[in-house]
Amino acid sequence: MQATSFEKDKIKIVLLEGIHASAEKVFSAAGYQNIVTATKSLPKSELEEVLADAHFLGIRSRTQVTEELLEASPRLAAIGCFCIGTNQVDLTATSLRGIPVFNAPFANTRSVAELVLGEMILLLRGVPQKNAAAHRGEWLKSATNSYETRGKTLGIVGYGHIGTQIGILAENLGMSVQYFDIESKLALGNAQAADSYEQLLATSDVVTFHVPETPITKNMMDQQAFEHLKEGAILINASRGTVVDIDALDKALASGRVSGAAIDVFPVEPKSNQDEFVSPLRAYDNVILTPHVGGSTMEAQANIGIEVAEKLVKYSDNGSTLSAVNIPEVALPSHEGKHRICHIHRNIPGILAKINDIFSSNNANIAAQFLQTNEKVGYVVTDIDRSSSVKAFEELKTIEGTIRTRILY
C-alpha cells in the first residue's frame, strides 16, 4: 500500500500572545489551515485544553512551558518562541521529549537597541521627571542635572547582538563605550572591554544590561553591585526581569546613587494587558517603566512571525532542526522521491548501528543519512526507498533509547 502524508489539515497549530499575522500567512501558504490563535497568554486550564491535541505551539515571553504542560500535550512536535529568549521553556524537558524549540535570534534586536538609545538620551536630560511634572501641571524649566550624551561613558553588560548595536549607535552620539561579557568578544568601533564587571560599574555614566536569563545573571545587579556603581549613574534593563534586584534598585533610587532608570522587564510581569502592574518603581518619576516592549515594533514582530513560522513549517515538512536551541541541528535538503525517517533518541552508544541494522534487514536502500548529537540527545535522519520505509519505521520505534520517530512522505 502506498503510504500518504499525515494530512496537513489534521495538524493543529496554536499561536498565543498576539503573534503577528505574518506567521499565520506562512502556515496557510504551506497548506496548514488548522490554526488556533489567542491575543494573550492563556491560564493553565485553558492552555492544557488547547494543547491536548496540538502539534505545534507558538508563544512569546509570557507562556511558561513546563514539564507538567508537556505531559498534558502528548502530540506536541515542536515549539516556536516568537522572540529571542527561550528561558520560558523547559529546554531540558523538551529535548528529552524530542520537541525542538525554535526562536528568532536577531529580528527584534535593532528595536531593543533603538529603545535603549532613546531612553538613555531622555534620562540624561531628566525628561521623564520633567514630563511627569508637566502632566501634573508643574513647570520644571532647568538645566540642573541635564546632560548631553557626548563625552559620557556607556557600559554595556552582555556584548551580543543587542549590546554591540547599542555600542555602535552610542559611539555615533560621541559616547565612549565599554563592555563586559563572559565570552571574549570582538570590540566594534572604538569600544573597549572593561577589566571587570565591577570596573565597568564604577566607571560608566550609563549602564545597560543585555544578557540572557541564566543562573549566573540572576540578580547580577544586586545590592553589592549597586555599591560599585558610579554615584548618580543611570541604569537600564531591557534583558530579563531576573537580572536586576528590584528592591536593591528601589534603595539605590531612594538614596540617589542611581539618578534615573529605564526598566522594560520585571521579575513578575502581568499575564495580560488587563492585569495590574505592581512594582515599587511606580513611585519614581525618574524611572521609565515599559511593559516588556523592547522588541515590540511592527517591523520586528512581522519579521519574527515569518522567521519562526518558516522554521516550524520546515521542521514539519522536511525534519530540519537548523537553529533549534535544544536539539542537535540538522540542515536537510529536499527528500523528493524518497521517504524520510527521523529518529530522535537518547545519546547512548550503538544506536546508529541498530538503526542501520533495521534498514539493512528490510533491504532498505539508504539514499542519504544525516546525524547530529549533543550531550543528551541524537538525531538521525535517513532518506530511503519508499517500498521498505513503513516496516522499517515501525521497527525503529522499538530501539531502546528511542524518544520520538517521524516519517515524512
Residues that bind ligand AKG (CB under 6 A): 60-61, 83-85, 108, 295-296
Residue from 57, 120, 265, 325 in contact with ligand NAI (CB under 6 A) = 265
Residue 239 near ligand NAI by CB under 6 A: yes
What's the grid cell of residue 30?
504551506
269 is catalytic: yes
By C-beta, is 259 or 303 nearer to ligand AKG?
Answer: 303
What's the grid cell of residue 245?
534586584
Q: Please tell me the chain's helix, strand, coil percentages from 3-state DSSP, rounded to the nearest 5.
A: 35, 20, 45
Residue from 210, 311, 339, 340 in contact with ligand NAI (CB under 6 A) = 210
Q: Which does 60 bind (CB under 5 to 8 A by kind): ligand AKG, ligand NAI, none?
A: ligand AKG
**Torsion angle defined by CA atoms of residues 172, 173, 178 and 181, in that order, rounded to the nearest 10 degrees:** -70
The amino acid at 119 = E
Task: Give the interface size with ligand NAI as a residue count (CB under 6 A).
Answer: 31
Of the chain, the end-to-end C-alpha distance in Å amounts to 13
- The residue annotated as part of the active site, out of 213, 269, 329, 395, is 269
Phi-psi region of 18 (alpha: psi -120 to 50; beta: other; left: phi over 0): left
By C-beta, is 60 or 230 nearer to ligand AKG?
Answer: 60
Q: Which does 238 bind (CB under 5 to 8 A by kind): ligand AKG, ligand NAI, none?
A: ligand NAI
3-state secondary structure of 67: helix
Residue 163 near ligand NAI by CB under 6 A: yes
Strand order in the sheet with 176-180: 192-193, 176-180, 153-157, 206-209, 233-237, 258-263, 287-289
Q: Which does 163 bind (CB under 5 to 8 A by kind): ligand NAI, ligand AKG, none?
A: ligand NAI
**Quick check: 105 and 84 in contact, CB under 8 A?**
yes
User: Which residues are marked as active site?
Assistant: 240, 269, 292
Enumerate binding residues for ligand NAI (CB under 6 A): 84-85, 108-109, 112, 157-163, 180-183, 210-214, 216-217, 238-240, 264-265, 292, 294-295
